[in-house]
Structure formats: C-alpha cells, structure tokens
Amino acid sequence: MKKVALLMGSDSDLDRLQTTLDHLRKLEIPFEARVMSAHRTPKLVVDFVEAAPSNGFGVFLCAAGSAAHLAGVVAAHTDLPVIGIPMDNPPLGGLDALLSTVQMPGGIPVATVAVGGGGPANAALFAARILALGDEALAARVAAFRSSQAETVAKKDARLQAKLEG
C-alpha cells in the first residue's frame, strides 16, 4: 500500500493531530509524519514533495495554522492528492488557516477538512478512502470502521430511550 505523508508546519500542531495519527494506525495505513514549513523550510518541502512518488507516498495530509500555505505549496508541486488540515491557532481560531487552505485558485486542488472537531480525524479517513480505491483489504477496514460507528450511535440511542422511559 502507498504511504500517507502527514506534514505539519510546526511541532506545536502535533497534539491536535493525535486523532489523525490514531485513525491512520487503527486502519493500518503506513505513514510518515514530518515537521516542515512552507515558510520556514520551503526548499525542504519542495524536495520532499518532489521525491514523494518514488518514496512510496500516495496521499499528503498537510496541517498548518495561521497564514497556512503548506497544503497549497505541496499541491503546487505534486499530482498526488492533498488534504489540508487547518489548525485552530489563536488569535483568529483557525479562520485564517481555513481560508488560506480552502480558497485555492483553480487548477491546484486541495481538499480541506474542518477546523478542529472531527477535521483532523476526517483527514485520515479521507486518505483511507483514497488509498482504499486500490486496496481491497483497506476498503474492508474502512467499511468496518463506518459500521462500528453506526453501531455506537444505535447503542447511544438505545441508552437515551431507556433514560427517557425510566
């Protein structure tokens, strides 16, 4: 299976990417997580991205906050799919990163997940769905994950009904 490259602009992003890592691990998706910045280490980013296909990567997850250009810069240097994860940094709470990531010009696509909440987890799940197109075993794990969520909701509903009746 191709690997996921999880790039983050700073180690200050890492704690908020725990659910991304958790979901990649749960779905048994090989990945590398790296700190590199579109602004502070632009050459490193370009070198990494250009070498990515020959290094076995299939999808990029790019997490950055503030004036977040990491996902866009990565997308500008590759034909692989890029998913942007806008980080909810102060003082603007991630609106800055969201707009910087989602408002890409035509021709250079970046799929952008939500700021905070389920966004970082969804980035991993979206990467899983992309890679699952060419991997039946992963597709089965993705399907099982979705079923398990439905079962969890059904249990919660049953608990609610019991509480309301009691």
CB of 27 to ligand RP5, least distance (A): 24
Sign of CA dihedral 46, 17, 153, 93: negative
Count of residues touching ligand RP5 (by CB under 6 A): 11
The answer to whether residue 124 forms part of the interface with ligand RP5 (CB under 6 A) is: no
90/166 with CB nearer ligand RP5 = 90
Tell me which H or E stretch contains 64: strand 57-65
CB of 146 to ligand RP5, least distance (A): 30
Q: Which residues contact 116 (CB under 8 A, 6 or more apart)?
A: 16, 88, 94
The answer to whether residue 103 forms part of the interface with ligand RP5 (CB under 6 A) is: no
Q: Near ligand RP5 by CB under 6 A, which window of 10-18, 20-28, 124-132, 134-142?
A: 10-18
How far, in Å, CA of 100 to CA of 142, rounded? Answer: 30
Considering only residues 12 to 71 of the shown chain, the ones binding ligand RP5 according to CB under 6 A are 12-13, 37, 64-66
CA dihedral 118, 17, 41, 30 (to 10 degrees): -100
CB of 15 to ligand RP5, least distance (A): 11
